[in-house]
């Protein structure tokens, strides 16, 4: 094997909760390669503050969690998926505890420590298990430690996948995934990884928007690669905007956790008055789509740069003990959570659609699985309920691992894969093309395909995206690949799919709000938006 050729049993593309938990479950059986675009911890999991929704309290029930999720999903959740996920929630938490994750506790009635459960928007019970206000960090660092202790797992840090390799594209029999071309960001060389199974765990596509709460790596790579490989995608019109991102020029990706509102924080106008009671009887505890639209509407109505979140009526001790990370981070930017309202704006946060999979995380392509935010399982419907996302990562990573193990003896070793051909490309001397197209794409998606849409805005977005695609295709065919070029190529592909999906939905439902079709259609509750390559 040369330095540019690698082989493994399972290639996991992505290193968040979904990817690492799948890798850990598979490592005892064979050789697993985990690809991380940046350092292994850099991804949405690490920055998740709130927690994981799970039925852990005797006063709570699977049925209650299921119904809350169905209500938040505005008629588009697949009930079988919701029930499957919730029924596996306790086991998922127990598995995390076994991996060394430490969750916040409080004294029980018998004086013994028990898990502290909080409540978030859309939930009727306290069922959010958390590690203070840095749950994602606790989960990610524990999983990374466990992965590094596994001799069968090889970490490829600072690698970005370029495209999936499939038998039909290699003119071989069948239609299965056999590996990927990957770019080594340290050396600039393209390498080949062959695998018997491939798991996409690349996260979402919120970087397609100008303002996002996500880290830089969330550029829709897995969705775009799966689409190019021939997989269907579903419900990409449903992009969740987190209502409360800190409004500060140096803090565009810092979230003020959902749990703040769960613990009594108010949303206020610049004059100090509350506005959520005007929009929903649940006020600050309404689902995120309602809260985000209310903030967006108030900002536009008043011409204000931001709204405010205020929990200063709670004691300083309560705030600093429950939200130490948020408190410290706000102080860095000159805001004291214990004494003043904090300026906030909505930001693109979560991709509810994705690569279509079944209950075993299988895509349309044999031996290709998709897990976590990259996938559409049917759990979230038209609006993701708070803290269901990490749960989905864990439950469907286990489902993928179980299916791979069941298929282990049937799937042969991958064929010898051809090396990457860059004999007809050169180094680019026009990086300005990438930077200009990058900004244009994210700006037009924010302006035309954001929280509130219209038919005309979507048509404008579609025309501009088509022009950008032509430019990027030409650029891609002439120059050596770079991280920025690959991300831009993937983002413009996902942007096109988002716009196509949004144009096909002639109603307003959940996270998709179109002023030209403000009503939710009756009788269309079962219609998912499915696009086929």
What the block records as the tokens of 177 is 């995934």
* Residues with active-site annotation: 288
Per the CB < 8 A criterion, the answer to whether 369 and 363 are in contact is: yes
Specify the pLDDT at position 1: 35
**CB contact set of 292 (below 8 Å; sequence gap of 6+):** 240, 241, 242, 243, 346, 451
Question: What per-residue confidence (pLDDT) applies to 283?
Answer: 96
| Token pair belonging to 14 | 């992505």
Nearest alpha carbon to residue 116 among 54, 47, 198, 187: 54
Could you tell me whether strands 239-246 and 233-234 are parallel, antiparallel, or unpaired per DSSP bridges? unpaired
Token reading at 191 = 């390498």
One-character DSSP codes across 390-458: HHHHHHHHHHHHHHHHHHTTTSPPPPPPPPP--TT-B--S-HHHHHHHHHHHHHHHHHHSSSSB-HHHH
DSSP state of 521: P
Whole-Å CA distances, 336 to 134, 305, 308, 331, 439: 19, 20, 13, 6, 33
In 97-253, which ranges are E strands? 105-107, 113-115, 117-118, 128-129, 153-157, 159-166, 177-184, 190-200, 233-234, 239-246
Q: Give which of 98, 105, 182, 92 is closest to 145, Cα–Cα.
A: 98
Q: How far is CA 105 from CA 55, 319, 348, in A?
A: 16, 16, 31
**Residue 365: its H or E element:** none
Euclidean distance between CA atoms 156 and 30, whole angstroms: 17
State whether residue 371 is helix, strand or coil.
coil
Which helix (DSSP H) or strand (DSSP E) does residue 271 occupy? Answer: none
Contacts of 417 (CB under 8 A, 6+ apart): 5, 165, 170, 178, 179, 192, 194
pLDDT for position 3:
53
Nearest to 3 by CA among 189, 129, 282: 189
Strand extents, DSSP E, 229-372:
233-234, 239-246, 266-268, 307-310, 342-351, 354-356, 368-370
pLDDT of residue 45: 87
pLDDT tens by residue, the chain, 533 residues: 345 899 999 999 999 999 999 999 999 999 999 999 988 888 888 888 779 999 999 999 999 999 999 999 999 999 999 999 999 999 999 999 999 999 999 888 888 889 999 888 789 999 999 998 789 899 999 999 999 999 999 999 999 999 999 999 888 888 899 999 999 999 999 999 999 999 999 999 999 998 888 888 899 999 999 999 999 999 999 999 988 999 988 876 788 888 899 899 999 999 999 999 999 999 999 888 789 889 988 988 898 989 999 999 999 999 999 999 899 999 999 999 999 999 999 999 999 999 999 999 999 999 999 999 999 999 999 999 889 999 999 999 999 999 999 999 999 998 889 999 887 788 776 778 889 999 999 999 988 999 999 999 999 999 999 999 999 999 998 889 999 999 999 999 999 999 999 999 999 999 999 999 999 998 755 699 999 99
Token match 């409540």: residue? 119
**Which tokens belong to 355?**
């690569």
Q: What is the pLDDT of residue 119?
A: 86
Biggest alpha carbon–alpha carbon distance for the chain? 72
The reported pTM is 0.90
* Strand-pair partners of 343: 308
Report the C-alpha gap between 88 and 371 in whole angstroms. 15
For 286, the 3-state DSSP assignment is: coil
Q: Which of 521, 211, 519, 490 is nearest to 345 (CA)?
A: 211
Cα–Cα distance, 123 to 53 (Å, whole number): 9
For residues 214 and 347, what is the distance between their CA atoms, to the nearest angstrom?
A: 9
| Helix (H/G/I), strand (E/B), else coil: 101 | coil
Domains of the chain: residue spans and CATH: 5-228+352-407 (3.50.50.60), 239-349 (3.90.700.10), 431-531 (1.20.58.100)
Residue 433: the pLDDT is: 84
């Amino acid at each position: 094997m040369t330095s540019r050729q690698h082989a493994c049993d399972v290639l996991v593309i992505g290193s968040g909760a979904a990817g690492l938990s799948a890798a850990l479950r598979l490592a005892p059986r064979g050789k697993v390669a985990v690809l991380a675009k940046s350092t292994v911890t850099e991804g949405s999991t690490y920055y998740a503050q709130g927690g994981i929704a799970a039925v852990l309290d005797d006063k709570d029930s699977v049925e209650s969690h299921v119904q809350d999720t169905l209500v938040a999903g505005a008629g588009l959740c697949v009930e079988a998926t919701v029930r499957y996920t919730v029924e596996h929630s306790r086991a998922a938490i127990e598995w995390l505890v076994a991996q060394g994750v430490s969750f916040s506790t409080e004294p029980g009635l018998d004086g013994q420590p028990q898990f502290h459960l909080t409540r978030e928007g859309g939930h009727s019970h306290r069922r959010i298990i958390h590690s203070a206000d840095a749950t994602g960090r606790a989960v990610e660092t524990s999983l990374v430690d466990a992965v590094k202790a596994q001799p069968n797992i090889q970490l490829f840090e600072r690698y970005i996948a370029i495209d999936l390799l499939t038998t039909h594209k290699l003119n071989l029999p069948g239609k299965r995934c056999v590996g990927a071309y990957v770019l080594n960001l340290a050396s600039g060389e393209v390498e080949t990884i062959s695998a018997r199974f491939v798991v996409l765990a690349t996260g979402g596509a919120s970087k397609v928007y100008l303002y996002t709460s996500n880290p830089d790596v969330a550029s829709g790579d897995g969705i775009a690669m799966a689409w190019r490989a021939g997989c269907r995608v579903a419900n990409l019109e449903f992009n969740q905007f987190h209502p409360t991102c800190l409004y500060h020029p140096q803090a565009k990706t810092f979230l003020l956790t959902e749990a703040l509102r769960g613990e009594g924080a108010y949303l206020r106008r610049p004059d100090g008055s509350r506005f959520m009671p005007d929009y929903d009887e649940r006020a600050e505890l309404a689902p995120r789509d309602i809260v985000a639209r209310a903030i967006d509407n108030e900002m536009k109505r008043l011409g204000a740069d931001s709204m405010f979140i205020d929990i200063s009526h709670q004691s300083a001790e309560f705030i600093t003990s429950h939200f130490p990370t948020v408190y410290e981070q706000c102080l860095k930017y000159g805001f004291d959570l214990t004494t003043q309202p904090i300026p906030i704006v909505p930001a693109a946060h979560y991709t509810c659609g994705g690569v279509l999979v079944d209950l075993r995380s299988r895509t349309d392509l044999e031996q290709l699985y998709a897990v976590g935010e990259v996938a559409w399982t049917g759990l979230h419907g038209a609006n993701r309920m708070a803290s269901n996302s990490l749960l989905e990562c864990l439950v469907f990573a286990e489902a993928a691992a179980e299916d791979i193990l069941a298929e282990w003896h049937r799937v042969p070793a991958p064929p010898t894969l051809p090396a990457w051909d860059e004999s007809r490309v050169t180094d680019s001397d026009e990086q300005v093309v990438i930077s200009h197209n990058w900004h244009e794409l994210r700006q037009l998606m924010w302006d035309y395909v954001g929280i509130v849409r219209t038919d005309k805005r979507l048509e404008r977005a579609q025309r501009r995206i088509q022009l950008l695609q032509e430019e990027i295709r030409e650029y891609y065919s002439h120059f050596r690949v770079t991280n920025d070029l690959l991300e831009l190529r993937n983002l413009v592909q996902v942007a096109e799919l988002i716009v196509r999906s949004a144009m096909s939905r002639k109603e307003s439902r959940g996270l998709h709000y179109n002023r030209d079709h403000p009503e939710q259609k009756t009788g269309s509750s079962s219609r998912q938006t499915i696009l086929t390559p």
